[in-house]
Chains A and B, each alone.
Chain A
Amino acid sequence: MMTGFWTSMRRDLVLATRHKSEWLTALFFFVMVTNLLPLGVGPEVSLLRKIAPGVLWIGALLSTLLGLQRLFSSDHGDGTLEQMALSPVPLAWLVAGKMVTHWLVCGLPVVLMAPLLGIQFDLPTRSLGILVLSLLLGTPILSAVGALGAALTLGLRGGGALLSLLILPLYIPALIFGAGAVEADLAGISPQGHLSLLGALLVLSVFFSPWVTSLALRIALE
């Protein structure tokens, strides 16, 4: 079981290193979106600080969406997904491996980049720490929930647009609590409540998503 999980994860990592443009695009998108906003809004410090948590979180949300479309579609197209479904290893474990890689490739760079981008919004050091923490808890949720959306829209024409329509509403709780944690800290309130709720969402989505996603994939394969 673990061999299957590790192989599925390693395989996607190797593919990501051969296909650098894909995840670099997502990261570049994140950097650009969060960079353009301060330029458009103007250099007023108090306003920038106020919008910073929301902007950074929305940037993270949209950039993870970019990598989701190809999560299963290339394996579906070349028949690898069929072989995965036929493997004696439960499909949910193989899917979990793919999710972890998606996070490592699309989520983790965003987490690492966020404090740098936070500086241009004049966020204090403590809030930067909270921002990183909230993204660290939140981006895996985006990968886990997003994988379910990718599986449900697999093989549909125009699946990309449908994927966004399906997934973005489900991202709302993560966005509210993630951005809320940073906002609370900026306002001088303890962000612990927000972070705890984010952690609960993380546990819930990481626990159920591989299983539900594997069911959706089996339907897509029929």
Chain B
Amino acid sequence: MLAVAQLTCQRGARTLFSGLSFTLPERQWIQIQGANGAGKTTLLRVLAGLVQPQEGTLTWQGLAVQECRAEWQRALLYLGHHAALKEELTPLENLRFSLGLEAMPADEAVLMNALHRFGLQEREHLPVRYLSAGQRRRVLLARLLIRPAQVWILDEPYTALDVHATQFLSAVIEDHLEQGGSAILTSHQTLGLRPGMSIAL
């Protein structure tokens, strides 16, 4: 369980949010809502540990994340709005390296299967440079299927996806929740997900 207490974050002179508290139990998901520039991405980056908050604490399974950083990083999967893909590499290579950088085993068949499930048949060996925005997004999202994690932190995961992929992504998230995981996402669409909590910034 992830617990957040009295979180305050300032960027320059502007306070993005202050006194923010919530808990994220297993099998639950939170939708972060807010206008453009309200600080949704910053909140996700604070939760992932990329940005230090001015005040407040983050606890994971009862421990402050500063004390269990490695466990928290293993438990979380953060997908930002950058694609985090190398244009020169193929989708398969991108996935393999992304797992390797986290010292996780990369089984070729598992990676292929993940790409196929996201509808990237016959694109596995094509440099990412030649893929469309939606296809790149799918390559990134394929990490959801191969990188085990309890908490998913997703920044606008539905961006650039077509109807079919949107439905599939919702099914993947639903599956993750079903298996005891949890998720935090910023999105303007929430198609086909069970009712979740919502936080407005």
> Interface size on B (CB < 8 Å)?
27
Residue pair A222, B52 in contact (C-beta under 8 Å) = yes
A221 contacts B by Cβ under 8 Å:
yes
Residue pair B84, A88 in contact (C-beta under 8 Å) = no
CB interface residues, B 124-139, toward A, < 8 Å: none
Shortest Cβ gap from A22 to chain B (Å) = 11
Q: How far is B157's CA from A144's CA once the two chains are assembled, in angstroms?
A: 37
Chain A contact residues (Cβ within 8 angstroms of B): what range? 20 to 34
A89 contacts B by Cβ under 8 Å:
yes
CB interface residues, A 57-95, toward B, < 8 Å: 74, 77-80, 82-89, 94
Chain B residues touching A, majority SS: loop
Are A79 and B101 CB-contacts (below 8 A) given A85-B50, A86-B78? no
A39 contacts B by Cβ under 8 Å:
no
Q: How far is B98's CA from A18's CA once the two chains are assembled, in angstroms?
A: 18
Count: A-B pairs, CB below 8 Å:
80
The chain A residue sitting closest to B84, CB to CB, is A79
B residues near A (Cβ < 8 Å) are 48-52, 70, 73-74, 76, 78, 80-89, 93, 97-98, 100-103
A residues near B (Cβ < 8 Å) are 1, 3-4, 6-8, 10-11, 14-15, 18-19, 74, 77-80, 82-89, 94, 221-222
Pairs A–B under 8 Å by Cβ, sample size 19: A3-B100, A4-B100, A4-B102, A6-B100, A7-B97, A7-B100, A7-B101, A7-B103, A8-B101, A74-B86, A78-B85, A79-B82, A82-B80, A86-B76, A87-B101, A88-B70, A88-B103, A222-B50, A222-B52
